[in-house]
Chain A
Amino acid sequence: MSVEEIELDIRGQVCPSCLLLSLREINRHHAALAADRLRLTILTDSRDATGTIPGAAANMGLAAAVAKVEGHYRITVEGQRESQ
């Protein structure tokens, strides 16, 4: 099964819009994310968001991984099964 990819670039955003925008995007695609039909990649320069976005994803039954890439952070949100 192919997994669709969506990228949300919220670098340069003001707090707490990065978390609000991420939550809105996760909520909008929650069913597809949970079913492993979609992977959401969030690019952020908010250091705090590297904890709050994965925490919010976990609360929604999703998995999130954080990686630092070229001075910013890439947070990948996907279904629990995919990440295990």
Chain B
Amino acid sequence: MEPVALTALATSLAVGMAAGFVMHRSDFCLAGAFRDLFLFRDARRLRALVLLVTASAALFELLRLGGALPSYPFPWFAPPAATSIIGGCLFGIGMVLAGGCVVGVLYKLGGGSAPAALALFGLLAGSAVYAELHPYWQQAAAATTLHGAAVTVPQLTGTAPFWWVAALTVAGGGLCRRWRRQGLWRTPAIHAEGYLPLWLTALVLTGLGVISVFGTGMPMGVTTSYAKAAAFLENLVVPGHVAGLTYFSGQPLLHTLPHGGAQLAGGAGPTLDVVALIQFPLIAGIVLGAALSAWRLDEFQPRWRLSPRQAATVFAGGVIMALGSRMTPGCNVWHLLGGLPLLTLQSLLFLLGLLPGAWLGGRLLTRLAAR
């Protein structure tokens, strides 16, 4: 393996481990950020997400201005299509039903949550289902493309990114300062051992996002690898069918590793490509980091206490979330932590769908699972 590829792999693993560790300590659940706002009028995690997006936007822009950002915008973000709204909505429903988003289920799994393992199976199953639908969805996305070239808001408006990011930073920073004056970063007091405040984990994740961009050339993201894992499993059973699926046979994702790396291709198919190189170590790292945190706290104690109805809800949530992430395309971590700070149009449309999706997911959850 070339040194730059090894660097990318090691960076992903290290970033994943650190992210998993701090997310477990804070229970930094991005699904909860939206769900709790609608279900409990609790905006603690959403405030932390605002801090994370604001700080990431400022840092990425500083790096761009300094010529240190490997690419602008990040790779694999495409011009917007209205299908991203539907994908975001499905993702919102799914993450609430599953009890965590695509990264949330990883740190919860590492922390010893048995339901998270079930949600993960749902994510794999949903990814496999999407592969069957992909040609039709691709046509829908092409038919609903809103702009042929612009990927970000600054590109759409022909304005320098600095001005948009400055506005975002002033607005987000102002909110964070106001919440600090109101004492909202400290309530309620969490009594868990080794707890890290949400704001601190938000800032750590901001730093990890920057490290990920430096080391791999892109922000954190995992869901294409869920599809890849599904393809590997399906390939064991029906290799002929997998080979015939467009979604699993193409390698449409091109990426040049930073620090002089070659351009590599990748996709969702059952091959060890650039997607696997960057995302598999990140996934493993998040699980390992959370497991390390739980083990040090003596809290790694998997238990199963779900009713059949709850188990079905969690699994279905995973399936729906995977469908949403593939339809968007991209997950909440990819869009909220990587795309939104750069004001990518795809990410804004994803968020537009995510909000009603999370609300609807909460309504469904209280009827289906919390009995």
Residues of B within 8 A of A20 (CB): 366, 370
How many contacts A-B (CB < 8 Å)? 92
B284-311 vs A, CB cutoff 8 Å, 1 = contact: the mask equals 0000000000000111111111100010
Asked, given contacts A10-B305, A51-B189, whether A15 binds B99 with beta carbons under 8 Å apart, the answer is: yes
- In the bound complex, how far is the Cα of B32 from the Cα of A24, in angstroms? 19
CB distance from B199 to the nearest CB of A (A): 14
Docked-complex contact A16 and B35, CB < 8 angstroms: yes
Specify which of A15, A45, A48, A68 is in contact with B193 (CB 8 Å cutoff).
Answer: A68
Say whether B195 contacts A15, CB under 8 Å: no
For residue A21, CB closer than 8 A to chain B, the reply is yes
- Most A C-beta atoms less than 10 A away, residue of B24, B35, B304, B365: B365
A12→B303 contact, CB < 8 A? yes
Q: Are A19 and B306 in contact (CB under 8 A)?
A: no
Q: Are B310 and A14 in contact (CB under 8 A)?
A: yes
**A52 CB–B CB distance under 8 Å:** yes
- Give the shortest distance, in Å, between B365 (CB) and chain A (any CB): 8
CA gap between A17 and B306 in the complex, in Å = 10
Assuming the contacts A19-B40, A46-B27, A48-B27, asked whether A12 and B304 have C-beta atoms less than 8 A apart, the reply is yes
Q: Which range contains the number of B residues in contact with the other chain?
A: 35 or more
User: Contacts A10-B305, A48-B32, A71-B299 hold; do A15 and B100 have CB atoms under 8 A apart?
Assistant: yes
Q: A48-B190, A55-B187 are in contact. Are A15 and B310 (CB under 8 A)?
A: no
Instruction: Give the residue of B24, B29, B114, B301 whose beta carbon is less than 8 angstroms from that of A71.
Output: B301
Please tell me if the beta carbons of B115 and A14 are within 8 angstroms of each other in the complex. yes
Asked if A66 is an interface residue, CB under 8 A from chain B, the answer is yes
- The answer to whether A51 and B303 touch across the interface, beta carbons within 8 angstroms, is no
Kindly state whether residue B132 has any CB partner on chain A within 8 Å: no
Question: Which of A's residues lie within 8 Å of B, judged by CB?
Answer: 9-17, 19-21, 45-48, 50-52, 54-55, 66, 68, 70-73
Residues of B at the A interface (CB closer than 8 Å) are 24-25, 27, 29, 31-32, 35-36, 39-40, 42, 99-100, 112-115, 187-193, 195, 297-306, 310, 314, 365-366, 369-370
